[in-house]
Amino acid sequence: MRFAGKTVLITGAAQGFGAAAARAFSEQGAALVLGDMADSIDTDLPTRVVTLQGDVSDPDYACALVGLAEETFGSLDIAINNAGIVHDPAKIPEIEPETARRVIDVDLLGVFWALQAQLSAMEEKGGAIVNLSSVAGLCGAPTLGAYAAAKHGVIGLTRTAALEYARKNIRVNAICPSFAATAMAGDAVTDPEAEKQMTRGIPMRRLATVEEVVQAILWAADPANSFMTGQCIGIDGGLGAM
Ligand SMILES: NC(=O)c1ccc[n+]([C@@H]2O[C@H](COP(=O)([O-])OP(=O)(O)OC[C@H]3O[C@@H](n4cnc5c(N)ncnc54)[C@H](O)[C@@H]3O)[C@@H](O)[C@H]2O)c1
């Protein structure tokens, strides 16, 4: 029960890492505030769960999620800023302006609004924030220009927030997965040939499992991990070592 007595907020909780993280935190005793644009969040979990549907690119939604945590459970201890989208592969000149804007709005500004609301709420008691970046936040990602720009931005926000709030005992870290077995990886999840193509640059030559990424999220958020802040950790089958 690593998270007993803690309130954990997770965005993008309807599927993928967010849904699996919600289950894992709940199994470790956390009360949950779950958000997603989709209305299909699973609330059949061992601990108390409240949900709020909305779009992370809306600053008011970021405040509403934090408000819900405070009203329902008294405070916010941990936030997992996980909701995100990717665009279809295209070189930079071919990415449509509205696509680029939407990816930056959701993947970068979504984390910015979340941090604004969450850091203020955690200032008194301290807490932990985990942002979902990507290996595309640490290295260039050909054909994923807008996504890579947004995820690099998340790293900048993570490090800056960690420095601004270190003395308030708010730890802020980012998890940077390579392709993992969620809807975002498309065909590669079910088609071994597509997986081989997608992971040919990964030393371990496979997708990450959802569980492997979720365990890293829990570890980054764990109160026992009390001296780690400002870190951007690759969960990438060795890619970052190259
Ligand atoms: N799966 C991967 O290969 C991979 C690799 C690196 C990083 N990531 C990052 O991990 C995070 C989660 O990815 P995933 O693979 O679980 O994705 P996913 O597509 O399986 O799930 C994302 C969830 O976020 C929600 N969402 C999307 N836009 C939203 C918005 N504007 N407001 C609220 N909710 C929104 C979706 O409805 C969905 O439930 C994302 O930030 C993604 O960029 C994923």
Q: Strands, DSSP E only, in the chain?
A: 7-11, 31-36, 49-53, 78-81, 127-132, 170-177, 232-235
Confidence of residue 215 (pLDDT cuts 50, 70, 90): very high
Cβ-based neighbour number of residue 69 at 10 Å: 26
Q: How many domains does the chain have?
A: 1
Taking residues 40-48, report their average pLDDT. Answer: 97
Q: What pLDDT sits at residue 22? A: 98
What's the CA angle centered on 107, arms 106 and 111, to 5 degrees? 90
pLDDT-derived band of residue 159, with 50, 70 and 90 as boundaries? very high
Question: Of all residues in the chain, what percent carry a pLDDT higher than 70?
Answer: 100
Q: Say what the pLDDT of residue 40 is.
A: 96
Residue 25: what pLDDT? Answer: 98
Which residues make beta-bridge pairs with 175?
132, 233
50 part of a folded domain? yes
Q: Residue 178 CB: number of other CB atoms within 10 A?
A: 25
61 is catalytic: no
Nearest CA to 61 out of 116, 134, 21, 6 is that of: 116
DSSP 8-state symbol, 224: T
- Which residue among 25, 61, 73, 147 is the active-site one? 147
| Separation of first and last alpha carbons in the chain | 37
| Pocket lining: 3 vs ligand 1, CB cutoff 6 Å | no
Cα Rg of the chain, angstroms: 17
Q: If you average pLDDT over residues 161-168, what whole number do you get? A: 98
Summarize the confidence of residues 137-143 as an average pLDDT. Answer: 97
pLDDT digits (tens, 9 = 90+) for 55-79: 999 999 999 999 999 999 999 999 9
Q: Give the distance (Å) from ligand 1 centre to CA of residue 196.
A: 22
The answer to whether position 1 is within a domain reads: no
Ligand 1 atom at minimal distance to the Cα of residue 86: 43
Please tell me the distance from the alpha carbon of residue 73 to that of residue 32, in angstroms, as a whole number: 9
Domain with 17, as residue range(s), is 7-236
Q: Is 19:13 a contact under the CB 8 Å cutoff?
A: yes
Largest CA distance in the chain: 51
Residue 110's CATH number: 3.40.50.720
- Answer yes or no: is the C-beta of 37 below 6 A from any ligand 1 atom: yes
Tell me: the pLDDT tens digits for 167-193?
999 999 999 999 999 999 999 999 999
Q: Is residue 241 part of a domain?
A: no
Residue 5: which residues within 8 A CB-CB, separation 6 or more?
Answer: 29
Whose structure tokens read 């939407």?
A: 102
- Determine the Cα–Cα distance for residues 193 and 196; give it in Å rounded to an integer: 5
**What is the pTM for the complete model shown?**
0.98
Residue 193 maps to a domain: yes
Contact of 215 with 182, CB cutoff 8 Å: no
Band (45; pLDDT cuts 50, 70, 90): very high
Length of the chain: 242
Strand pairing class (232-235; 78-81)? unpaired
Does residue 100 lie in a domain region? yes
Over the chain, what is the mean pLDDT? 97
Strands 31-36 and 127-132: unpaired
